[in-house]
Structure 1
Amino acid sequence: MPLSKKDQLVELNKINKNTLMETLKIEFIDFGDDFLVARMPVNSKVHQPDGVLHGGATAALAESVGSYAAQLFSNLDEVFVRGIEITANHLKSVKSGYVYAKGTFLHNGRTTQLIDIRITDDNDNLVSICRLSTISLPKKT
């Protein structure tokens, strides 16, 4: 019997143990055939000195979602996925609550992938737009 979506998310979140994702409290909360969503709490641990969400924490959230989305939709028995480039345009400040990252594919090729990651706040306001390029490389046999 296949795992329920809730159980699949529990399994997915186990990868966060002892990583930057655990430190930032990034949690995967939804996925589908072509997307992945995670959230991260906004508090003093991810603030800039002036009390708003640090762009580096936002980029870490975006890269976590984009990289793992690329892995979810790849055959990891044959390839491994690595990030090549990330861009982030920050549009709005956030002081508290959660930010949510939804990664969707703009291109999901055999070798390269381009993932669009939209970061929103608790009120669904657009906070940042990020793009992550990844590459799938063959595993050595």
Structure 2
Amino acid sequence: MTEKQTLIKTLGMEVVEISEGKVVMTMPVDERTHQPLGYLHGGASVALAETAASVGTAHLIDRETQLCFGLEINANHIKAKREGTVTAVAEAVHRGRTTMVWEINIRDEEGQLICLSRCTVAVVPKRT
């Protein structure tokens, strides 16, 4: 991934592993990812989940001829977190020609489930 100024860099996300149908990413829980009361913002968790699904899809498609974009995402925020690091594990549950569906579990350092998400990513042809 590039070092451009993107949401990934702004929120401190890092890719730990990319393999066939699986992505592992981390994100700090700090002032960049907090909501006003000092807890992990649900939107930051959703951003991490969609990023992991999109990175995974990009790894599986032909990037010379195809692009991918998040199409739909849902998230259940299970547990609050004030500080530390969360880890997203995204796994492809459907790998179609025009869509891929990913399940993303975001856990803390103790393995506690923080957020459970499912994301559909569209695969579209590149326009020249």
TM-score range, shorter chain: over 0.9
Match for residue 134 of structure 1 among 105, 121, 127? 121
What secondary structure does 1:131 align onto? Answer: strand
* 2:63 partner amino acid: L
Structure index of larger Rg: 1
Match for residue 105 of structure 2 among 105, 115, 118? 118
Please report the RMSD computed on the Cα atoms of aligned residues, expressed in angstroms.
1.1
Counterpart in the other structure of 1:47:
34
* 1:84 partner amino acid: L
Q: CA shift at 1:76, angstroms?
A: 1.1
Unaligned runs of 5+ in 1: 1-11
- 4+ aligned runs moved over 3 Å, structure 1: none
Unaligned runs of 5+ in 2: none
Q: TM-score, normalised by structure 1?
A: 0.86
- Aligned partners of 2:69, 2:109: CA distance in 1, in Å? 30
**Residue 20 (structure 1) aligned with residue 7 (structure 2):** yes
Q: TM-score, normalised by structure 2?
A: 0.94
* 1:101 partner amino acid: A
* 1:77 partner amino acid: E
Relative to structure 1, the CA distance from residue 87 to residue 16 in structure 2 (aligned partners, 3 Å threshold; closer, same or farther) is farther
